[in-house]
């Protein structure tokens, strides 16, 4: 016997159930994530731009420096004018152990710039010493020096009745009365910077180390020597 499909109560053949369809919806992109990504990209671009500009500036400066070949400036003690020298013992009983020293000298320095560009000098301080004891200090104000030029600057050092005790006072009195020769030392550092197209180079130090001798009787300079470029007068 042939089997016949069963019929529903309403006389229709039922259809098989349709498969269910699952729809895929992409997850929504948050605005905060996109803004963070754009911010990071902007920072990265700015960093690369600044790095490139810095390297470009350094390259330009190196090219200019190599082309100009800057030289270290010269700063020499050229003249020393003794205006007053006064040496006396504190008392008759302590003449061999204590002395008072007064001095007024004018020093002229010659700054030589052999470069193709100008040089900017910082304020310089010079100390005059006797047997390692600081007696006084002179100041040369800051100044600018053009290329291929020599400029003279001066300072005055005043020593007002500085007391030297014990062996130093005895040595000073002996140098002044017996030898008529008081040897002093002038020390100082001069800071200089080269100006190239509005840029200032790193500073260099020009040291001044001079030995001078003065005569208390003549009230005059008798000797001057500065390193290997010394000069006796």
Query: Each residue of 67-109: pLDDT tens digit?
Result: 556 677 888 899 999 999 998 886 655 444 578 899 999 999 9
Do 165 and 91 belong together in one domain? Answer: yes
- What integer is the mean pLDDT of 25-30? 53
Q: Residue 169: what are its φ and ψ, rounded to 5°?
A: -65, -40
The number of helices, as runs of H, and strands, as runs of E, in the chain is 2, 11
The count of domains in the chain is 2
Do 53 and 146 belong together in one domain? Answer: no
Q: Is the pLDDT of residue 231 over 70?
A: no
Split at pLDDT 50, 70, 90, the class of 154 is very high
Say if 105 falls within a structural domain: yes
Better pLDDT: 132 or 34: 132
Say if 10 falls within a structural domain: no
Split at pLDDT 50, 70, 90, the class of 15 is low
pTM to 2 decimals?
0.66
Say if 12 falls within a structural domain: no
Say if 14 falls within a structural domain: no
CA distance 109 to 80: 9
Do 113 and 186 belong together in one domain? Answer: yes
For residue 56, the enclosing domain spans 35-69
Q: What CATH number does the domain containing 141 carry?
A: 2.60.40
CA distance 204 to 169: 38
- What integer is the mean pLDDT of 197-218? 84
Residue 212, Cα to own-chain centre: how many angstroms?
A: 29
Say if 156 falls within a structural domain: yes
């Amino acid at each position: 016997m042939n089997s016949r499909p069963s019929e529903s109560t309403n006389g229709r053949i039922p259809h098989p159930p349709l498969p269910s369809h699952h729809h895929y919806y992409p997850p929504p992109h948050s605005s905060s994530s996109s803004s963070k990504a754009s911010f990071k990209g902007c920072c990265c671009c700015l960093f690369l731009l600044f790095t490139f500009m810095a390297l470009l500036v350094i390259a330009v400066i190196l090219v200019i420096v190599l082309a100009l070949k800057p030289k270290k400036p010269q700063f020499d003690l050229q003249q020393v004018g003794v205006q007053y020298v006064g040496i006396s013992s504190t008392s008759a009983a302590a003449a061999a152990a204590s002395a008072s020293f007064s001095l007024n000298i004018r020093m002229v320095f010659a700054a030589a710039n052999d470069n193709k560009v100008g040089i900017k000098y910082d304020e310089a301080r010079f100390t005059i010493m006797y047997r390692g004891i600081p007696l006084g200090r002179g100041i040369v104000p800051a100044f600018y020096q053009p290329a291929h030029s020599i400029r003279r600057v001066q300072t005055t050092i005043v020593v007002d009745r500085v007391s030297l005790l014990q062996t130093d006072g005895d040595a000073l009195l002996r140098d002044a009365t017996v030898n008529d020769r008081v040897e002093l030392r002038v020390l100082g550092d001069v800071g200089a910077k080269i100006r190239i197209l509005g840029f200032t180079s790193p500073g260099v130090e020009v040291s001044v180390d001079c030995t001078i001798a003065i005569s208390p009787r003549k009230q005059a300079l008798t000797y001057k020597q500065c390193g290997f470029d010394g000069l006796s007068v």
